[in-house]
């Protein structure tokens, strides 16, 4: 089965960006905008989105592990997420918005941890069978600003606590993906105020929904 050959009635939108870029701030606003155009919008996240995926998320965010173990667990959670949430929703015509998907694996495990991209591509093909988001919103902010935004957090998870160089590599991997797949990526300048970012999003969402 090659997934893109199926005619999905729904659309698949993903949100990406380094920690502190502010995508979570805009999530419910994006859902509201989409609900103007579509009756069913499913909001979900990675790692997570299913009971098993949420258990894997707990482990992934807290437990030290080998980068390949981390990558395999991210894709294991994704396989479950596709099977239980994303594909059924797309098939019944819902629109799915996921807070992160496989571009995060290319950025964090590939760019950040240095995992070879051919290994990631094998897992991507295995798990997604060619399925890609229809639209990916990349919230882009310089690392120093993200670090400043996160500095008020009482407790960092395993990723948020990484060094600046890790995030520089994650950010540049995201921007490379955006340059490689310009049709589905939209890069949002998320250094701006919430209102200005919403304006950028409104423009993108309206033209995508029409
Ligand atoms: P995040 O969306 O940042 O959760 P929160 O906003 O609640 O902190 O996601 C958790 C972390 O998981 C984030 O630091 C990025 C990381 N991650 C990967 O490293 N690889 C992946 O494939 C995914 C989906 C997430």
pLDDT digits (tens, 9 = 90+) for 151-210: 888 789 999 999 999 999 999 999 999 999 999 999 999 999 999 999 999 999 999 987
Atom of ligand 1 nearest to the CA of 47: 24
Which of 21, 25, 45, 46 has most ligand 1 atoms within 8 Å of its beta carbon, as the pocket-test mutant?
Answer: 46
* Average pLDDT for 104-133: 97
Cα of 146 to ligand 1 centre, how many Å? 14
For residue 1, pLDDT beyond 70: no
- Answer yes or no: are the C-beta atoms of 13 and 31 closer than 8 Å: no
Check: CB of residue 159 under 8 Å from CB of residue 193: no
C-alpha 150: how far from chain center = 19
Sequence-distant (6+) residues with CB within 8 A of 165 are none
- Going by pLDDT thresholds of 50, 70 and 90, the confidence category of residue 83 is very high
**How far, in whole angstroms, is CA 10 from its chain's centroid?**
18
Q: Is the CB of 173 under 6 A from ligand 1?
A: no
Task: Yes or no: say if 44 and 96 are a contact pair by the CB < 8 Å rule.
Answer: yes
Q: Is the pLDDT of residue 7 over 80?
A: no
Can you read off the two tokens belonging to residue 53? 């995926």
State the pLDDT confidence band at 45, using cuts at 50, 70 and 90. very high
pTM (2 d.p.): 0.95
Measured by CA distance, the residue closest to atom 3 of ligand 1 is 19
CB of 162 closer than 6 angstroms to any ligand 1 atom: no
**Residues 97, 99, 104: CA angle, nearest 5 degrees:** 125
Mutation test of ligand 1: which of 14, 25, 45, 47 has the most ligand atoms closer than 8 Å to its C-beta?
Answer: 47
* CA 50, 52, 54, 56 torsion-angle sign: negative
Q: For ligand 1, say whether the CB of 191 is within 6 Å of any of its atoms.
A: no
Report the alpha-carbon distance of residue 9 to residue 115 in Å, rounded.
Answer: 35
Computed over every residue of the chain, the mean pLDDT equals 94
Interval between CA 110 and ligand 1 midpoint (Å): 14
Q: Does residue 104 have its Cβ closer than 6 Å to ligand 1?
A: yes
Higher per-residue confidence, 6 vs 15: 15
**How far are the Cα atoms of 62, 77, 151, 186 from residue 114, in angstroms, in the given order?**
20, 21, 25, 25
Nearest to 23, CA basis, from 147, 165, 161, 137: 137
| 86-97 pLDDT tens trace | 999 999 999 999
């Amino acid at each position: 089965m090659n997934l893109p050959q199926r005619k999905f009635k729904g659309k698949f939108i993903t949100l990406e960006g380094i920690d502190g870029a502010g995508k979570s701030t805009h999530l419910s606003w994006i859902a509201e905008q989409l609900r103007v155009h579509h009756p069913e919008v499913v909001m979900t996240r990675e790692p997570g989105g299913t009971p098993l995926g949420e258990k894997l998320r707990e482990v992934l965010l807290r437990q030290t592990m080998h980068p390949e173990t981390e990558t395999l667990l991210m894709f294991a959670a994704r396989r479950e997420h596709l099977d239980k949430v994303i594909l059924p929703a797309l098939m019944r015509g819902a629109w799915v918005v996921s807070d992160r998907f496989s571009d995060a694996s290319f950025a964090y495990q590939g760019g950040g941890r240095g995992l070879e991209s051919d290994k990631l591509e094998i897992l991507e093909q295995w798990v997604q069978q060619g399925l890609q988001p229809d639209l990916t919103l990349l919230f882009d902010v310089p690392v120093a600003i993200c670090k400043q935004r996160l500095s008020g957090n009482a407790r960092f998870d395993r990723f948020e606590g990484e060094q600046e160089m890790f995030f520089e590599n994650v950010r540049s991997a995201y921007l490379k993906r955006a340059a490689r797949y310009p049709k589905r990526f939209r890069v949002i300048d998320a250094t701006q105020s919430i209102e200005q970012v919403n304006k950028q999003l409104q423009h993108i969402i309206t033209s995508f929904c029409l």
